[in-house]
């Protein structure tokens, strides 16, 4: 089920840092529309994957998938799982294939999810019941700049009380391969990022 990737762009990784209310999801959807095609004839392949998962296609017929799982998702929900003996139910990494996997509130995802994603991001498929299933997607990761999300705001009503140690621990929940990816970061507020990156 792994589709053709001839003449397609390489999957991209982008990291957003933005305060609550900065509409990270809207930006994520706009970013998704601006990316190139990941898989030739992705629509047919995506339809088959969604059919296996018991899902219909979302959005316009030719639109690549846009998946945004909640941070409470399990490993099985992300990777896929066996149902009723030998039936394979694709997880989010396959449902996003050919499109975008958007992970908002990144520090809240369990570390086992990040470990799994690092491997899948490089091999670009998962194996279910001995068969390869495509997992070739753009990865867009988003986070608040600190636990309360208000670091850098000057007004007393929304002043941040997070200590530098709290910010370090919070951002440290996001793996280095995401935070330190070269030439792929987008900042909602550069001044906020400059503060956070110095803590």
Q: Is 183 exposed, middle or buried (0-12, 13-18, 19+ CB in 10 A)?
A: exposed
The answer to the question of residue 25 being in a domain is yes
Residue 3 lies inside a defined structural domain of this protein: no
Report the percent of the chain where pLDDT is more than 70.
73
- Asked if residue 7 belongs to a domain, the reply is no
3-state SS class at 90:
strand
- What are 107-159's pLDDT values in tens digits? 999 999 999 999 998 898 898 877 888 888 989 999 888 898 887 666 656 67
Instruction: Count H helices and E strands in the chain, helices first.
Output: 8, 9
Number of domains the chain contains: 1
Distance CA 160, CA 155 (A): 9
Q: Give domain status of residue 117, yes or no.
A: yes
Structural domain of residue 62, as residue ranges? 13-198
Give the model confidence (pLDDT) of 46-82 as tens digits.
777 777 777 766 554 567 889 999 999 999 999 988 7
| Domain-located, residue 5 | no
What is the CATH number for 101? 3.40.50.300
| pTM, two decimal places | 0.81
C-alpha dist (Å) from residue 53 to 62, 69, 83, 91: 19, 15, 10, 8
């Amino acid at each position: 089920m792994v589709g053709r990737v001839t003449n397609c762009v390489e999957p991209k990784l982008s990291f957003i840092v933005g305060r609550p209310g900065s509409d990270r999801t809207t930006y994520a959807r706009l970013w998704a529309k601006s990316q190139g095609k990941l898989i030739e004839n992705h629509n047919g392949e995506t339809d088959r994957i969604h059919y296996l998962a018991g899902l219909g296609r979302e959005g316009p017929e030719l639109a690549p998938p846009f998946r945004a799982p909640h941070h409470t998702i399990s490993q099985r929900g992300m990777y896929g799982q066996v149902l009723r003996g030998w039936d394979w139910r694709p997880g989010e990494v396959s449902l996003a294939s050919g499109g975008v996997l958007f992970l908002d509130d990144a520090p809240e995802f369990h570390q086992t999810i990040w470990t799994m994603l690092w491997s899948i991001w490089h091999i670009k498929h998962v194996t279910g019941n001995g068969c390869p299933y495509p997992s070739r997607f753009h990865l867009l990761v988003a986070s608040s700049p600190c636990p309360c999300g208000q670091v850098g705001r000057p007004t007393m009503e929304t002043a941040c009380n997070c200590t530098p140690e709290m910010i370090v621990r919070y951002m440290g929940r996001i793996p280095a391969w995401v935070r330190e990816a070269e030439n792929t970061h987008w900042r909602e507020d550069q001044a906020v990022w400059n503060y956070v990156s110095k803590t």
